[in-house]
């Protein structure tokens, strides 16, 4: 299952990515925002998507203007490992090495075709499952569990 969300600055790209995913017969759920609203706030959609990804053990895609805001917000959700990717190579490394479960994109800087390729690589790349990767992820989980 792929969950997707965006604020107003990422709204148009989100709509295009949803169509791309559906054309590939991927199961995608649009968590919003479902209409353009210049006054929406990225933390609202980021928290909602992050919680859904963790609860359903799915993958998520978040989009805002820079990608930084949604990435910062969604990483506050326990169990989320999100990364802002501006290159397909980053998405591959994030999935393979870090079992990244939320991909953050920016709509203002990276061209649409490059964002499409980044999404494709994010969804196709499997977690490498090497001992060192698992060890590092377990350290993140232990730190999260120790937090209030």
3 state DSSP class of 27: coil
106: closest CA among 43, 69, 64, 141? 64
* CB-count burial class (<10 Å; 0-12, 13-18, 19+) for 58: middle
Cα-to-chain-centroid distance, residue 131: 24
CA–CA distance, 108 with 12 (Å, rounded to integer): 11
- Of 24, 64, 71, 104, which residue is the catalytic one? 64
Element (H, E) at 51: helix 42-56
105 forms beta bridges with: 63
Cα-to-chain-centroid distance, residue 55: 15
Q: Is 64 a catalytic residue?
A: yes
Active site residues: 64
């Amino acid at each position: 299952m792929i969950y997707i969300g965006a604020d107003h600055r990422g709204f148009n790209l989100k709509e295009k990515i949803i169509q791309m995913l559906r054309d590939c017969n991927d199961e995608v759920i649009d968590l919003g925002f479902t209409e353009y609203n210049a006054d929406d706030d990225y933390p609202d959609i980021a928290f909602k998507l992050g919680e859904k990804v963790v609860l359903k053990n799915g993958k998520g895609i978040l989009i805002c203007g820079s990608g930084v805001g949604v990435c910062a917000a969604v990483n506050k959700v326990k169990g989320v490992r999100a990364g802002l990717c501006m290159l397909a190579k980053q998405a591959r490394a994030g999935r393979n090495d870090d079992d990244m479960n939320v991909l953050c994109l920016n709509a203002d800087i990276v061209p649409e075709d490059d964002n499409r390729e980044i999404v494709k690589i994010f969804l196709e790349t499997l977690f490498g499952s090497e001992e060192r990767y698992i060890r590092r992820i377990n350290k993140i989980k232990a730190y999260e569990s120790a937090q209030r």
